[in-house]
Amino acid sequence: QVHLQESGPGLVKPSETLSLTCTVSGGSVSTTSYYWGWFRQPPGKGLEWIGTIYEAVSTFYNPSLKSRVTISADTSKNELSLRLSSVTAADTALYYCARELRGAAAGVNADSWGQGTLVTVSS
Amino acid sequence: QSALTQPASVSGSPGQSITISCTGTSSDVGSFNLVSWYQQHPGKAPKLMTYEVSKRPSGVSNRFSGSKSGNTASLTISGLQAEDEADYYCCSYAGSDRVLFGGGTKLTVL
């Protein structure tokens, strides 16, 4: 059974870079069987896909965030990383990492999720 | 990009069936059989209930079924149970690495 756990600062200043880590157990971030994705949910609002990595090196990004997002994987630690630059208050959200069923598209079929970590952007 | 359109709320009594709609366009729901539905209880992470329109992940009750007609996808829950009370989100691929989510539907079990 795969387990995902997000971690990182809960408070980030405007214009700075948000950095989160997702520790994966019970599965490998370099597997060819699944994708690994990041999603977010502003408090009281709906879900948004941020981006996905597969086979530890190839990435898909939400076009609306692409210029600010970097997703990477550390196979030695079996971890995923998310970096979001130039953050504003609009980036305040609960950030989730998730495992995705590999298929025709990324960001659509996330079958296992971490518990999420709240990131607030404020000075 | 616009979100998919879902009713804000639906309700039903235990044992009944309810259907939640998810309306998109010919560029997203209508073009791809890549629609999924998520259930989210308060304070919890989302849970994948159906994917690729009508497939169910292992462990998900067969009381949950997905379908699609034209630009509208639907999630039907039969034999409604108290534990089904949650928020439900639809999701669709929209081409060119675009993924759309609905605004969410709050299901109340009366």
How far, in Å, CA of A3 to CA of A99, rounded? 9
- Among partner residues B35, B45, B102, which is closest to A96 by beta-carbon distance? B45
- pLDDT tens per residue, range A9-31: 999 999 999 999 999 999 999 99
Do B15 and B1 contact (CB within 8 A), yes or no? no
Q: Which residue of B has its CA nearest to A107?
A: B99
- The DSSP secondary-structure symbol of B3 reads P
Residue A47 buriedness (CB in 10 A; 0-12 / 13-18 / 19+): buried
pLDDT number for residue B2 = 59
Residue A46 to residue B101, Cβ atoms within 8 A: yes
Structure tokens at B45: 């992470």
- Asked if A43 is an interface residue toward chain B (Cβ–Cβ < 8 A), one would say no
Q: Is B52 on the interface with A (CB under 8 A)?
A: yes
**How far away is chain B from the Cα of A26, in angstroms, using its nearest Cα?**
17
The residues pairing with B107 across neighbouring beta strands, listed in sequence order, are B10, B86
Q: Is A111 on the interface with B (CB under 8 A)?
A: yes
pLDDT in tens, B76-85: 999 999 999 9
Residue B60 in contact with partner chain A when CB distance is under 8 A: no
Tell me the C-alpha distance between B22 and B4, whole Å. 6
First to last CA, chain B: 35
What confidence tens digit (pLDDT) does each residue in A78-120 have? 999 999 999 999 999 999 999 999 988 999 999 999 999 999 9
